[in-house]
Amino acid sequence: MPNNLGAGVPLCDLQTQYRELQPELEAAVLRVLASGQVILGPEVAALESEVARACGVAYGVGCGSGSDALSLALHALDLEPGDEVILPAFTFFATAGAIVRAGLRPVFCDIDPITFNMDPLQVENKITERTRALMVVHLFGQCADMEPLWRIAERHDLIVVEDAAQALGAEYQGKRVGSLGSIGCLSFYPTKNLGAYGDAGMVVTNDPEWAGRMKCLRVHGMEPRYYHKYLGWNARIDAVQAAMLRVKLPHLERWIGDRQAVAARYDALIEEHHLTHFLERPIRRPHRRHTFNQYVVRVANGQRDALVRQMKAENIGCEIYYPLALHQQECLRYLGYRSGDFPASEEAARQVLALPIYPELKAEQQRRVIQCCAGFLRQQVRRAA
Ligand SMILES: *Cc1c(COP(=O)(O)O)cnc(C)c1O
């Protein structure tokens, strides 16, 4: 990955953070290697209680990835094949993939165009007698609108599962993600708020029974050894990853603050360059702490893809999360949805653009990102004249 000082700006930069913590990270790895405890063991147990505490819940169950976390949560609920889970049509594929792979039926609902999160007003008419759970995603690092979702869940006796993969540290009315539903699913994919050096994830919950079941499911459903109570699989978190995550966890709050500062600088730069009508800035809803795992703008006038080409040409990192809504994905065609079913999700897929954001991103780099966008717009205006 290119360094900070080149003309370009990388979409992400894992090396700067690594260099900051290099001695502690390397000591943590060596500690695990020397201990011989490379599968589960004390590092994993310690990380589980530290992350659970950071989420304000009682139990953490470390697992191989955020995707494993979603699967463990859904299997722990002990639902019947064909039971329905409602989720937003605009999220990362894993949210839906885990539901299908657990033998359940994903039922999509549209998003609130302001926050890109599940629109509570659209949820209730998706509920049938087979609905068992709401899979609430906190997309880009900002909490979904929980209050109305809680009321719906209560009224229809639904379990709330959080896909908090992008939102560790985010808050809603002062409560942490992971504590906003019955089970919270976290990812430590390297670009998430708390990133491992490889794959890792965790499920958090206040329910001792679900926590125990998920601990069992992640080791092939074994209890006791070689007696298989559940149809589990290998979903363990690596002890080396757990040790490194323990080094990084104490810095999470500072890094979230840095992400928020980066977001505020982008806001100001977009304003300063008179781009507010071209790049619609992300909106923070009240009573929420947005962790800015991503800084996602909407690009106006159908110019998104042309802008992306220009940014790529100038070596300015950017990414589209996500170019296609889930109800339009090829492998989910059997569900019978059509284009037009979820207009807000489809429009988001056409307009969104994520700019580089990480705690170490420098103001000067952000200036280059926004200057590139401003240059593109000037060119368009000149061409149209
Ligand atoms: C990253 C992510 C996941 C999956 O996490 P992995 O650790 O990559 O398996 C699930 N849902 C959302 C919304 C994500 O962003």
Question: Where is pLDDT greater, at 375 or 6?
Answer: 375
Q: Find the mean pLDDT for residues 176-195.
A: 98
Which residues does 251 contact at the CB level (< 8 Å), separation at least 6? Answer: 21
Say whether pTM exceeds 0.85. yes
Residue with CA at minimum distance from ligand 1 atom 5: 66
| 121 — pLDDT class (breaks 50, 70, 90) | very high
Bridging pattern class, strands 171-172 and 201-205? unpaired
C-beta 91 within 6 A of ligand 1? yes
Q: How far apart are CA 266 and CA 355, in angstroms?
A: 9
Q: Find the mean pLDDT for residues 354-370.
A: 98
Residue 322's CB is within 10 A of a number of other CB atoms, namely 18
Is residue 101 domain-shared with residue 202, that is, in the same domain? yes
pLDDT digits (tens, 9 = 90+) for 251-286: 999 999 999 999 999 999 999 999 999 999 999 999
Could you give the 3-state DSSP secondary structure of residue 103? coil
| 185 — pLDDT class (breaks 50, 70, 90) | very high
Q: In this predicted structure, which of 1-10, 31-40, 124-133, 278-287 has the lowest mean pLDDT?
A: 1-10
Closest ligand 1 atom to 91 CA: 13
Residue 1 pLDDT greater than 80, yes or no: no
Q: In this predicted structure, which of 125-129, 201-205, 368-372, 381-385 has the lowest mean pLDDT?
A: 381-385
Which residues does 313 contact at the CB level (< 8 Å), separation at least 6? Answer: none
CA of 70 to the centre of ligand 1 (A): 9
Residue 7 has a pLDDT of 78
Is residue 202 domain-shared with residue 163, that is, in the same domain? yes
Residue 76 has a pLDDT of 97
Closest ligand 1 atom to 95 CA: 11
2 is a domain residue: no
Which of 118, 137, 166 should be mutated for ligand 1, with most atoms under 8 A from CB? 166
| 3 — pLDDT class (breaks 50, 70, 90) | very low
CA of 99 to the centre of ligand 1 (A): 13
DSSP character at residue 281? P
Average pLDDT, the chain: 96
Residue 385 has a pLDDT of 82
Closest ligand 1 atom to 98 CA: 10
- How is 55-84 classified by DSSP, letter by letter? HT-SEEEEES-HHHHHHHHHHHTTPPTT-E
170 is a domain residue: yes
Q: Find the mean pLDDT for residues 25-45.
A: 98
Q: Judge if the upstream peptide bond of residue 42 is cis by omega within 30 degrees of 0.
A: no
Residue-number span of the structural domain to which 212 is assigned: 15-250
Q: How far apart are CA 229 and CA 222, in angstroms?
A: 6
Residue 110 pLDDT greater than 60, yes or no: yes
318, two tokens:
């950017």
C-beta 62 within 6 A of ligand 1? no
Q: Find the mean pLDDT for residues 97-126.
A: 97
Number of structural domains (the chain) is: 2
Residue 384 has a pLDDT of 86
Q: How far apart are CA 92 and CA 86, in angstroms?
A: 15
CA of 371 to the centre of ligand 1 (A): 31
Residue 354 pLDDT greater than 70, yes or no: yes
Say which CATH number the domain at 55 has: 3.40.640.10
4 is a domain residue: no
Residue with CA at minimum distance from ligand 1 atom 14: 165
Residue 338 pLDDT greater than 90, yes or no: yes
Is residue 40 domain-shared with residue 78, that is, in the same domain? yes
Closest ligand 1 atom to 137 CA: 13
Task: Express as a percent the part of the chain with pLDDT over 70.
Answer: 98
| 8 — pLDDT class (breaks 50, 70, 90) | very high
122 is a domain residue: yes
Residue 156 pLDDT greater than 50, yes or no: yes
Is residue 243 domain-shared with residue 333, that is, in the same domain? no
Residue 2 has a pLDDT of 44
Is residue 345 domain-shared with residue 220, that is, in the same domain? no
C-beta 344 within 6 A of ligand 1? no
203, two tokens:
């499920």
Closest CA to 103 of 78, 134, 124, 129: 78
- Burial of residue 152, with CB atoms counted within 10 A of its CB: 0-12 exposed, 13-18 middle, 19 or more buried: middle
C-beta 195 within 6 A of ligand 1? no
215 is a domain residue: yes
208 is a domain residue: yes
245 is a domain residue: yes
6 is a domain residue: no
Task: Express as a percent the part of the chain with pLDDT over 90.
Answer: 97
